[in-house]
Structure 1
Amino acid sequence: MGVSKSLTIYCLFILLFKLCNSKFSTANQEAKLVTFIQSKLTVHSPHENMMNSSVFPVLDLYQVVNVNENQEELTVKYVLSFYYYVQDVSWDPDEYNGVSKMAFNAGSFWTPEIVNEGIIDDIYTTSSYQIVFSDGRVVTSHHLSIFTYHCAMEYALFPFDEQKCPMYLSAWGSRDGEYTLALSLRELVYGQLSLAHLTQNPQWKVRSPVQYSIQQYPDGDQEFYDVLVVDLKLKRDPLFFLSVLIFPSFGVYILSSFVFILPVQSGEKITFASANLLAQVLTLGGEVATNLPRSSQHFPVFGNYMAFMIIHMASSLVLTILIYNIYFVGNNGREIPPWLDRILRDERLKYLLIPPIKTKHHNQSASRLNEYSRMENEPEQSSQAEPITARQQSPTNVSLGGDSETEGNPCETLQQTRLRDLGMMSSSQGSDQKKEKLAPLWARCSVMVDRTCFVFYLVIAIVVTLSYFISVVLVRSP
């Protein structure tokens, strides 16, 4: 029993000794490996044995944070890393207790200077780190970066626009020939940026694929430097503007055409047209002015559409006032011109939902008007003929001394006054009846103009709106 206990203690002691020895051995091996790596890598300049003098950049896009359309600025979140190979730094992991990589603080070894040319504001950048792998690969990575850069935007197709906002990552050291930018084999095959970690912006969607290439640009001294070009394309989601701007504006535009359906007798036509015009002007000065990008170089097509819409709606108000004037012309007793009378009796007006005038009724009306005209002329003829008859029947009215005729008989004067009053009453009655007859004809004329304006106004509104949407589709299509 005692021997067994002693043997167990001995085994535990041996195991503990090996563990401690392994730990110290691993620490020694790591320290030895760190010394080896530091002796091979430089800090201030590229290593002379860097494979092909090539630096491989890797960009991982995480999110389009914000798009400032008025300032033409784009804020993105990404992780940028780059690596290069140094042959002298490779080692066998088995010789160092299976250690295949070592991590170092930022700045421990040489780091290529790669910057964004269009950067405006570096909002946030976490600390970077460097990792050396057993195959000689030296990786420098930033945890996360958020920055704002300039993007020239075009708003002609707002809110169906797409923006091209390329990022230019320049390698400043490459102009001296110290190194060149290169793409990995996978990136050369696919030629596009990986979007595996991308979180889409709710208003702007990143179009896939995102082209990824390295180009050379002149620096002005007859030398060229490498630039990593990320062709970032953004597509706006138009649902919000369709819901709160385009469809309501189009609805008010179409609704304004119904001012020509509203009867003149209602007395609300001008109020209706003015209210629609005011609503559209307030929309243009409110929602459109607030959400429309402020650019005179690429004025949106929708802005032209809104301007035409307001001019067209203003014309409906002018036409409504004209229709009111036509309607009340009959109260002045103005005759219907023959050409207009033929149009009003045209049977094709039924297509405008206007019933035709009955011919018999029209002939009766014409005969009544002739009768009214004859009645107006009869009192005048009677008043002219009466004095002559009175002089012929009353010779005693001439004085013996050759004087001119004296004052008339009081009975004759009373008779003439009554005839004159009767003629005036007959003339007034005939004029009122004439106006009463002409008023429906001019009202019919105003209805005809109303319906004609409604058809043309509605057709123009639909054609202009369809032209706007078709032009947007044709321009967007490749």
Structure 2
Amino acid sequence: KEGHSGPTYESLQAVFNLQAFRPAVNLSNPTIANISFTLYAVLGVNEKTQILTTFLWLRLYWRHEFLVWDPDECDGLTKISLPVKELWSPDIIVYEVDDDVSQACPYVYVNHTGHIRWDRMLRLVSACNLEIFSFPFDVQNCTFTFGSYMHTRDVRVSPALTFKEMSQNSKRYLEASGEWELVDILGETSILKFGIDEWDIITFWVVIKRRPVLYVVNLLIPSSFLMLIDILSFYLPPHSVDRASFKMTLILGYTVFLLIMNDLLPSTANGTPIIIYFSVCLALMVISLLETVIITNVLHHNSLKYREVPNWVRVVVLKHIANLICYRWPEDVQPPSTLQKDKTGSSNGSSGPWIIQPATQAPDQRPAPELQQICQYLGELRAHLISLQKESQLLDQWCHVGYVLDFLLFRIYLLLISCYAMVIITMWCIWI
């Protein structure tokens, strides 16, 4: 009519009265709902409860066949806004949502062809199967399934944009967002069957990746430093008790580190992160402490209790194991085979401490009492020196046994740590 620049109130009121009915002239024709969304932010990931909290910009399109007008008859007006509560709208929901906090715009844009656009801002708390085995280099794949709750095949859903366009739009807004970054958005349309009923659904797979810098700086690097210090502690003198006390201090510090780290590590009922290798590192540090205790016990053998090194220990440790680990003997120390020969030669030969005897006297002459007392003192001194020499030899033998065992256990310890570190790094590289 003349004087009107758009649909009249009476015509719109007639449409509002049909709110309860699906806006289709022929009810056998389905209503197509086109969906697109932009992932604006990942607000939180709760691995223990398997919950993902996101913020989406959702855009929904459909066609209202009763809201069509000719722009030429309405002064060229092609678009108006109407309250959404007065119009029929498809009941599109997200199936995985545990909680939906929507900030929906109360108005929709209506085109002269009857196409409606409804923008919604959703804060979704949705269920997601989170895999944390490769933490902090984990990649999560969460699913958003959009579909109608009541309508079966009379309301069909399809993507309004290509999945690549949705992914690019989301990456533009997630570039500066917190801990997570968007890898890709994939999707497909399918049919959900339940008995004789069928629903059109569209499934989006949102692939997000954790930014590991925070955890590398706060967890991996400090742990690596502590393990490096534990390895370097093997270069302390093994006969010193300071090595054991130093290792115990390291274990205490690492235990405190694990308690602090426990608040940063994710936990789930169905999986354990590979970063739990920190506990294995603690076990390795305890093993290194036990090795130090064993070596200290060997090096502090009492010569009164252990008269000499058993022959099998001398053969196995000082000969075979020393050759296996390329143990370097000091210049003033001979290998065990040479020691054995020298021991045999000295027992058969005449070498050894001097034996002091008084000068030969005539049968009728007796030595002076002072001379007898001097000979007695010299004999006691000789016996004492012999005992000290034997004790020193025994201690030297046990010291070399301890040194050889220390070299052997240190190399085994390095091999264990190297193998374990290679396994962890390889698995992380595969996941990355």
Shorter-chain TM-score category?
A: 0.7 to 0.9
Offset of residue 421 of structure 1? 8.1
Q: 1:396 maps to which residue?
A: none
CA distance in 2, matches of 1:189, 1:457: 50
Do 2:241 and 2:296's aligned partners in 1 also have CA atoms closer than 8 Å?
no
Do 1:330 and 1:441's aligned partners in 2 also have CA atoms closer than 8 Å?
no
Deviation sequence 1:162-182 (CA, Å, 0-9, x none): 11221122311322x432222
Q: 2:235 maps to which residue?
A: 261
CA distance in 2, matches of 1:68, 1:230: 20
Deviation sequence 1:18-43 (CA, Å, 0-9, x none): xxxxxx965x23353x5445545631
Q: 2:286 maps to which residue?
A: 314
Offset of residue 190 of structure 1? 6.8
Q: 2:360 maps to which residue?
A: none
1:118-129 equivalences in 2 (<5 Å): 118-129=96-107
- Higher alpha-carbon Rg: 1
Match of 2:267 among 284, 289, 294: 294
More helix by share: 1
Q: 1:249 maps to which residue?
A: 223
Offset of residue 435 of structure 1? 0.8
Q: 2:174 maps to which residue?
A: 199
Which runs of 5 or more residues in structure 2 are unaligned? 358-362
Range moving further from structure 2, 125-134 or 151-160: 125-134
Q: 1:397 maps to which residue?
A: none
1:96 aligned partner, one-letter code: C
CA distance in 1, matches of 2:174, 2:398: 67
Deviation sequence 1:418-468 (CA, Å, 0-9, x none): 999876654443211111233233223222222222222122212211111
Q: 1:214 maps to which residue?
A: 189
Change (3 A) 1:354 1:157: farther
Match of 2:309 among 326, 330, 336: 336
1:334 aligned partner, one-letter code: R
2:170 aligned partner, one-letter code: L
Q: 1:436 maps to which residue?
A: 392
CA distance in 1, matches of 2:163, 2:339: 89
Offset of residue 73 of structure 1? 1.8
2:407 aligned partner, one-letter code: R
CA distance in 2, matches of 1:358, 1:189: 75
Q: 2:254 maps to which residue?
A: 280
Q: 2:131 maps to which residue?
A: 154
Do 1:60 and 1:197's aligned partners in 2 also have CA atoms closer than 8 Å?
no
1:163 aligned partner, one-letter code: Q
Q: 1:180 maps to which residue?
A: 156
Change (3 A) 1:44 1:251: same
Do 1:63 and 1:198's aligned partners in 2 also have CA atoms closer than 8 Å?
yes
Do 2:24 and 2:66's aligned partners in 1 also have CA atoms closer than 8 Å?
no
CA distance in 2, matches of 1:263, 1:365: 29
Choose between structure 1 and 2 for higher RCO, CA contacts under 8 A separated by at least 6 residues.
2
Aligned residue for 1:234, secondary structure, equals strand
1:383-402 equivalences in 2 (<5 Å): none
2:193 aligned partner, one-letter code: P
CA distance in 1, matches of 2:246, 2:86: 77
1:112 aligned partner, one-letter code: P
CA distance in 2, matches of 1:31, 1:421: 133
Residue 106 (structure 2) pairs with residue 134 (structure 1): no
TM-score by length of 1: 0.74
CA distance in 2, matches of 1:160, 1:326: 45
1:409-420 equivalences in 2 (<5 Å): none
Which runs of 5 or more residues in structure 1 are unaligned? 1-23, 383-392, 394-410
1:292 aligned partner, one-letter code: L
1:80-119 equivalences in 2 (<5 Å): 80-119=58-97
2:205 aligned partner, one-letter code: D
Do 1:62 and 1:79's aligned partners in 2 also have CA atoms closer than 8 Å?
yes
Offset of residue 274 of structure 1? 1.0
Aligned residue for 1:447, secondary structure, equals helix
Q: How large is the Cα RMSD of the aligned pairs?
A: 3.9
Do 1:205 and 1:236's aligned partners in 2 also have CA atoms closer than 8 Å?
yes
CA distance in 2, matches of 1:119, 1:183: 19
Count of residue pairs the alignment pairs up: 414
Offset of residue 202 of structure 1? 1.7
1:206 aligned partner, one-letter code: L
Identity %: 19
CA distance in 2, matches of 1:253, 1:337: 36
CA distance in 1, matches of 2:57, 2:190: 21
Q: 2:409 maps to which residue?
A: 453
Offset of residue 206 of structure 1? 1.5
Deviation sequence 1:141-163 (CA, Å, 0-9, x none): 32x22232222211111111111
Q: 2:21 maps to which residue?
A: 45
Q: 1:399 maps to which residue?
A: none
1:23-34 equivalences in 2 (<5 Å): 28-30=4-6, 32=8, 34=9
Aligned residue for 1:207, secondary structure, equals strand
1:78 aligned partner, one-letter code: L
Change (3 A) 1:124 1:372: farther
TM-score by length of 2: 0.82
CA distance in 1, matches of 2:42, 2:130: 15
Do 1:206 and 1:233's aligned partners in 2 also have CA atoms closer than 8 Å?
yes
Do 2:170 and 2:182's aligned partners in 1 also have CA atoms closer than 8 Å?
no
More strand by share: 2
Change (3 A) 1:286 1:369: farther
